[in-house]
Every structure is written in C-alpha cells, then in structure tokens.
Amino acid sequence: MAEQEESAALIARAAATHRLTEAELVQLLGDAAATEQLAAAADRVRHDYVGDGVHLRGLIEFSNICRQNCMYCGLRRDNGKTERYRLDAATIVELARKAKGYGYHTVVLQSGEDAYFTVPRLCAIIRDIKKLDMAITLSLGERPREEYAAFRAAGADRYLLRIETTDRDLYEKYDPGMSWANRDRCLRDLRELGYEVGTGTLVGLPGQTLAMLARDILYYQALDADMLGIGPLIPNGDTPLGTAKPGDFALTRRMVSLLRLLLPEANIPATTAMETMVPRGRELILASGANVVMPNVTEGDYRRKYALYPGKICVADTPADCRHCMGGRIKAMGRYVAEDKGFRRHRLCQG
Ligand code: SAH
Ligand code: SF4
C-alpha cells in the first residue's frame, strides 16, 4: 500500500477503535502529508465525544520562584535574569474572584516549585476559592503524596503535571536532579487520590524521537489521563537549551490529533505555546482535536515576569481583554464557551 493510503486506513481505524500500536503511531506522527486528514478525523471525534463547547480555565501564575533547574525553562533556579515574585494569599483569591466575574468556572493555580507555599498556606487558599463555587486545578510540580492528599481534602479537583517525556534518560538529562520514577509516582498518587489528572509532552526536546512520542501517547492511554497538555519547546535564551531547535508545530499538531483519536474523552487544551509559535495557533489546535483554552487571569507585570519561554502572547493585555478575545474567537469558529465546570465526561463503556 502507498504511504498515503496506509495512513488514511490507520486514521479511519483509530477514529473507530481508538487504538493504534507504537509502530502505527510512529508512521502517523512522521507523515507530514497526513496532518490535515488527522486533524479532520480528530475534530469529528472531538465533536462526537466532548461536543462543541470549549472550556475556559483561568490561569493564575502565582509564583515564579522554583527550586528546580529544568534546562528549558526560564523559571529554573539558576536563571538570574528572572525577576522573581510571589503573590500573597489575598491577591490569589482576589484574582480567582475576578475570574469568576469574567465567567470562568475553573481556575488553574500554577507556579514554580516554591516551598513557601506549604500545605497550610495552600489549603487556606484552596478553601477560600472553593467558597466561590469554582473548580480548582493545581499545577505546582512534584510534592509528596501526603501533600497532594491534603490539597485534595481542602477541595482541589484537578492536577496538571506534564511527564514532559516518558523516556527516562531524556527526562533526567533535561530535568537534572529530578527522577522520572518520582514524576511517574506523582501522577499515580494523584490518580489514586481522586484528582482529575492532566499530563503531557514537551515536544522537541533535543534527542526526542517519534518512537518516544508514540510511547508517550500509549502511556497516557494506560494512565487513562483526563487532561493532556501538549506544547512545542520554545527555546529560552536564558537557559541551557537556548540555542536548541524549536519544537515542530505541525508535529505537535499531529500529536494533539492522535491524542484525541486515542483518548476520545480527554480534555485537551490548545496551549499558549502553540499560539506563541503560530498566529491563531490556538484556533488551529481547537480545530484539530482540542476543546480547552486556558486564558491568563494574572494581572499587570506578573504576566511578563512569569516567563517560561520568550515571546509569550498577551503579556500587555488585561484578564478582561483575554476573556473577551477568546470568547469572540470561539464563537467565530462556530463553537461556544461551555458554561459548566468542565469535568471529564465518561462516555466509553468499560470493558
Ligand atoms: N513547575 C510546574 C508548573 C510550571 S511549568 C511544573 O514544572 O510542572 C509548566 C510547563 O511549562 C512545564 O511542564 C513545561 O512543559 C513547560 N515549559 C517550560 N519551559 C518551556 C519552554 N521553554 N518551552 C515550552 N514549554 C515550556
Ligand atoms: Fe520549575 Fe516547572 Fe520550570 Fe521545571 S518546568 S524549572 S519545575 S517551573
């Protein structure tokens, strides 16, 4: 069979059965000519399983202080150029209250691995935000199981922790001092504690192969991940990976589409990094399998200072601008802003 026909047959099978082998995933990830066909199939599966609603999650970047040293990230502890900040509890809760006012039903609290935010401090913030009747997603990095349990008991609903890559050696090369086994442990603990678990891949780490990306997808399927955030590496000049090649946008897009085909019920964001790379990148990804956007609700200069990578979009905008802009863009696509809290809907029959 010609490559084109072979890919078309694989896409049709994946859309119907939600299963592919590692070799089949490698073939589709590597087939640039299949990008549009994959996106169209993923868009249909997205429509059938999670509908036309787009969930907006308000992102609060509450501290850029980090004890880790990931080689790609601007918040790494050895980056002396980052102007560090930490929002206080009252400011974080106030940002959540304003997010509620803009019509968001979920806030994502994201930060570097900042030890100042102990269990009592974070639990107090979580409890205050829960009084606003909002869902809470945490994205604070690796913590012991007991801490995850305490946040969950205080009311946290979801947790985002990208595995970045399932290749142990590659992970430990670019996340020095961290262990892949511990990251995997965190995800399993979060799952057992009843969180909706979000994870994902950083596409374009030097040395990452298509087979590794294929294994990432199979890992997410085995974990039964609820959310999947995929983004291309955007080299940050203030980090050791500053001169690396940027992640491939089209490859990242094919990966998003394949994730929708293989994990049809998952919540999949169109990530900000996609739009940093390509104007209107989030619309393109929303039309390629994604159903979530995480507009920034952090205010003022903190947006600029939370610089994982350069060229971050909308740093001069206000949260109201972002809400208005995304709402309009979603409507223009013939989709709508979902009005519920956006928990995963389980549709597949078990067994
Ligand atoms: N400290 C937490 C959350 C903040 S970092 C954690 O590490 O989980 C959130 C995500 O930003 C990371 O998972 C990583 O995939 C992404 N990121 C960091 N630097 C990046 C870069 N240069 N380009 C693209 N994404 C990057
Ligand atoms: Fe810290 Fe997260 Fe950046 Fe790693 S990716 S340096 S843990 S903020």
Contact 129, 94 (CB under 8 A): no
- Per-residue b/e over 230-239, b at no fewer than 16 CB within 10 Å? bbbbbbbebb
Of all protein residues, the one whose alpha carbon is nearest to atom 5 of ligand 1 is 112
Q: Which atom of ligand 2 is nearest to the CA of 73?
A: 3
Q: Which atom of ligand 1 is nearest to the CA of 239?
A: 22
Of all protein residues, the one whose alpha carbon is nearest to atom 18 of ligand 1 is 73
> Between the CA of residue 133 and those of 33, 155, 347, what are the distances in Å?
46, 10, 25
Residue 113 Cβ < 6 Å to ligand 2: yes
Residue 307 Cβ < 6 Å to ligand 2: no
Q: Which atom of ligand 2 is nearest to the CA of 142?
A: 7
For residue 123, how many other CB atoms are within 10 A of its CB? 17
State the Cα–Cα distance between residues 144 and 156, nearest whole angstrom: 15
Q: How far is the CA of 142 from the centre of ligand 1 (A)?
A: 13
pTM exceeding the 0.85 threshold for the entire prediction: yes
Q: How far is the CA of 112 from the centre of ligand 1 (A)?
A: 9
Q: Which ligand is nearest to the CA of 235?
A: 1
Q: Which ligand is nearest to the CA of 174?
A: 2
Residue 234 Cβ < 6 Å to ligand 1: yes
Residue 72 Cβ < 6 Å to ligand 1: yes
What residues have CB less than 8 Å from 249, skipping those under 6 apart? 232, 274, 277, 278, 281
Q: What is the pLDDT along the chain (351 residues), one digit of tens a residue?
A: 688 899 999 999 999 999 999 999 999 999 999 999 999 999 999 999 999 999 999 999 999 999 999 999 999 999 999 999 999 999 999 999 999 999 999 999 999 999 999 999 999 999 999 999 999 999 999 999 999 999 999 999 999 999 999 999 999 999 999 999 999 999 999 999 999 999 999 999 999 999 999 999 999 999 999 999 999 999 999 999 999 999 999 999 999 999 999 999 999 999 999 999 999 999 999 999 999 999 999 999 999 999 999 999 889 899 988 898 999 999 999 999 999 889 988 865 443
For 94, the token pair is 């106030």
Residue 291 Cβ < 6 Å to ligand 1: no
Q: How far is the CA of 140 from the centre of ligand 2 (A)?
A: 9
